[in-house]
Amino acid sequence: MIDLAIFGAGRIGHVHALNAAAHSRVRVKYIVDPLPGARDALAAQTGAEVVDADRAFADSAVAGVVIASSTDTHADFLLRAAQAGKAVFCEKPVSLDFQTVQQVAAAVEAAGTPCLMGFQRRYDPDFRMVRDRIAGGEAGRLEHVVMHTRDPSPPPRAYVERSGGMFIDQAIHDFDMARYLLGEEIATVYAVGRCLIDPEIGAAGDIDTAMITLTSVSGRLVQMVNCRRAPFGYDQRLEAICANEVLYVENRPRHGVTFADAQGFHHAPPLNYFMERFAAAYRDEMAAFVDLIETGTQPLAGMRDGLEAQRLAEAATASMRTGQAVRMEVAA
């Protein structure tokens, strides 16, 4: 049985804790969160004990930690996990300060700490099938990718002010997926963004609508469409144009029944938000973390992926501010 400590009892910590508790080879030993209420309820649901971070890191029986706490704690907890010799499952981003991300990534890699970064789309069966068909050669050479990511409604201003901006908070998943599907690094980033939906987001210094064009080192193209609102609900789609076929990932409906009457055909709206849309991916992500601890099986997303996705988010921010494409420094 593997003992895990869950850091953070918010909405994503709740998801990870319940998935861990449901795993046949895992015991959620500790919940670490400074705020009572949700923390205590989650501990009761999982049979865990509420402790502070020092206790969790000091317990040699804890094989791994899940960092789903507030973003400003991620870097410190990652470093402490590396020092304590514990495997880490960390939600993105590592930090809102990119220099800190680079320093933490270097330290975690130097320590040889097993690390899974929380890019759950890599574990979604639809996105994985697209990747597998491209990597396996059935689809032919990938030439062009179009991704749409739109939230069902804008987040509150208080969230925006501590999110790091839309590129780091939302579009970072698309940056990661671009690298994952292409199988190579990005050479240039060009981004435009505006506040077109919610003035409160603009007042907080952020944008709510963006379009980003990426060019890979071999010249292939990615177009990202990101937005803080879709009137019909959560919008998560992908189109991969390959030499032999075009692969689509469509929105997943809440049910599969179509109603027809004199006014026409009526379909179910998409699943409400990312936690519902990617529920299976989150379960498989936790299973992958268990495999990482037990057998050393490398995860689909590691520390280096977290670093590189955020590097692209930083470049998009710079491009938007200057109106110029940013050329990335790509290692030979």
Structure tokens given for 100: 């800190």
173, 268: one domain: yes
137: domain CATH number is 3.30.360.10
- Whether 30 maps to a domain, the answer reads yes
Does one domain contain both 188 and 80?
A: no
Statement to judge: residues 106 and 134 lie in one domain: no
CATH code for the domain in which residue 30 is found: 3.40.50.720
Give a yes or no: residue 233 inside a domain: yes
Shared-domain flag, residues 94 and 145: no
262 and 197, same structural domain? yes
Chain segment 223-260, per-residue pLDDT in tens = 999 999 999 999 999 999 999 999 999 999 999 999 99
What digits encode the pLDDT tens for the residues 41-89?
A: 999 999 999 999 999 999 999 999 999 999 999 999 999 999 999 999 9
Residues 37 and 166 in one domain: no
Note whether residue 291 is domain-resident.
no
- 188 closest CA partner among 287, 43, 74, 311: 311
Beta strands in 100-160 (DSSP E): 115-117, 142-150
Please give the average per-residue pLDDT across 165-190, as a whole number.
98
Give the pair of three-digit tokens for residue 153. 């409604």
Residue 332 pLDDT level (bands cut at 50, 70, 90): very low
pLDDT at 329: 85
Q: Which of 70, 88, 113 is the last residue of a domain?
A: 113
Contact criterion met (CB below 8 Å) for 39 and 31: yes
- Domain match, 54 and 92 both: yes
Report the percent of the chain where pLDDT is more than 90: 95
Q: Which amino acid is at 100?
A: T
Handedness of CA 313, 159, 272, 35 (dihedral sign): positive
Decide if pLDDT at 331 tops 90: no
Domain membership of residue 94 (yes or no) is yes
- Asked if residue 285 is part of any domain, the answer here is no
Last residue of some domain: 113, 147, 178? 113
Whether residues 81 and 133 share a domain: the answer is no
Question: What is residue 272's predicted lDDT score, i.e. its pLDDT?
Answer: 87
Instruction: Indicate whether 176 and 320 sit together in one domain.
Output: yes
Q: What percent of the chain has pLDDT over 70?
A: 99
Q: Give the total number of structural domains in the chain.
A: 2
CB 139 within 8 A of CB 241: no
Do residue 233 and residue 270 come from a single domain? yes
- pLDDT, tens digit (0-9, with 9 covering 90-100), for 210-232: 999 999 999 999 999 999 999 99
What pLDDT digit, counting tens, does each position of 95-128 carry? 999 999 999 999 999 999 999 999 999 999 999 9
> CA-CA distances (angstroms) from residue 232 to 41, 116, 209, 226, 229?
33, 33, 16, 15, 9
Range of the domain at 42: 2-113
Are 168 and 105 contained in the same domain?
A: no
Q: Indicate whether 295 belongs to any domain.
A: no
Write down the pTM of the prediction.
0.95
* Mean pLDDT of the chain, nearest integer: 96
Q: 59, 87, 113 — which closes off a domain?
A: 113
Report if residue 245 sits inside a domain: yes
Residues 73 and 185 in one domain: no
